[in-house]
Amino acid sequence: MPTYDPTTALLIVDVQNDFADPQGNLYVKGGEQVVPFINAEIERAQQAGARLFYTQDWHPESTPHFQKDGGIWPVHCVQFTWGAELHPALVVGGPIVKKGSNGEDGYSGFTMRDPVSGETTATPLGDMLATAGITTLVVAGLATDYCVKSTVLDARERGYPVTVLQNGIRAVDLQAGDGDRAIEEMFAAGALLESRAAVSAEGGLDS
């Protein structure tokens, strides 16, 4: 179980309707199940004085990120739509970093990549963590094999100790096993992977 203190941040990645609701345009199987678990973790973090940060996919209507414009993904998380909103049951108690706003591939909470030129730009997250005096990260959210993985790998490149909460993530698994491979990649990069009892939708611990 991660230890929280004021130098630790719980980073919650892309828990948005298009990913976490079965009616979402890019629903991640079981995505809604992470919400009660993450909410319980948020309570633990807040009680210890840790900080909360959130990321949010925030795409324009047309972007090379989408299949209709030459990318690989169905239209999802379009700015100011229901699909882009954070899941209504998710407790929000900290700043939200929007990514992909100008059509970039916004997988990582730390960086965005132009899908045409390949140019990488930083999001505000790194500066926000530094300003808050954060030295350690705990990560949960969606999806394991894309935005969670990219965020964790970028955090490790920046020297952050990172714990990934395995009951607080779910994978797209575009190819079978992608989620497992992502977990192996994060572990190989030095992230700690923690698994413990999940939380039921009613808020209790599942047996």
Instruction: Quick: pLDDT tens for 10-35.
Output: 999 999 999 999 999 999 999 999 99
CA distances (Å), 46 to each of 14, 107, 150, 164, 195, in order?
Answer: 20, 26, 25, 18, 20
Would you state the pLDDT for residue 94? 97
Choice between 203 and 183, residue whose per-residue pLDDT is larger: 183
Residue 147 annotated among the catalytic residues of the structure: yes
Determine contact, residues 32/20, Cβ cutoff 8 Å: yes
Residues 6+ apart with CB under 8 A from 61: 75, 78, 79
pTM: 0.92
| Over residues 25-52, mean pLDDT | 97
Residue 115: which CATH number?
3.40.50.850
What are the structure tokens assigned to 88, written together?
């209504």
Distances (CA, A) of 115 to 13, 83, 152: 21, 22, 20
Active site residue 127: no
Residue 98 is assigned to a structural domain of this protein: yes
What number is the average pLDDT over the span 61-90? 91
Lowest-pLDDT range of 30-34, 168-172, 196-200: 196-200
The structure tokens listed for 32 are: 């809604």
Q: Is residue 13 part of a domain?
A: yes
What confidence tier does 204 reach under pLDDT thresholds 50, 70, 90? very low
Q: What average pLDDT does this structure show over 155-173?
A: 97
Name the least confident of 4-13, 25-34, 60-69.
Answer: 60-69
Q: Residue 1 domain-assigned?
A: no
Asked, for residue 94, whether it belongs to a domain, the answer is yes
From the candidates 14, 21, 57, 145, which is the catalytic residue?
A: 14
| Predicted local confidence at residue 196, as pLDDT | 60
Q: pLDDT at position 205, please?
A: 42
How sure is the predictor about 182, in pLDDT bands with cuts at 50, 70 and 90? Answer: very high
Instruction: Please tell me the distance from the alpha carbon of residue 27 to that of residue 18, in angstroms, as a whole number.
Output: 6
Domain that holds residue 90: 8-194
Domain contains 24: yes
Kindly name the residue from 18, 21, 57, 99 that is annotated as catalytic.
99
Residue % of the chain over a pLDDT of 70:
94
Strands (E), the chain: 8-13, 51-57, 96-99, 111-113, 120-122, 136-142, 162-170, 192-194
**Does residue 51 sit within a domain?**
yes
At 104, the pLDDT band (50, 70, 90 cuts) reads: confident
Single out the catalytic residue among 77, 147, 149, 154. 147
Q: Are 39 and 198 in contact (CB under 8 A)?
A: no
Element (H, E) at 131: helix 125-131
How many domains does the chain fold into?
Answer: 1
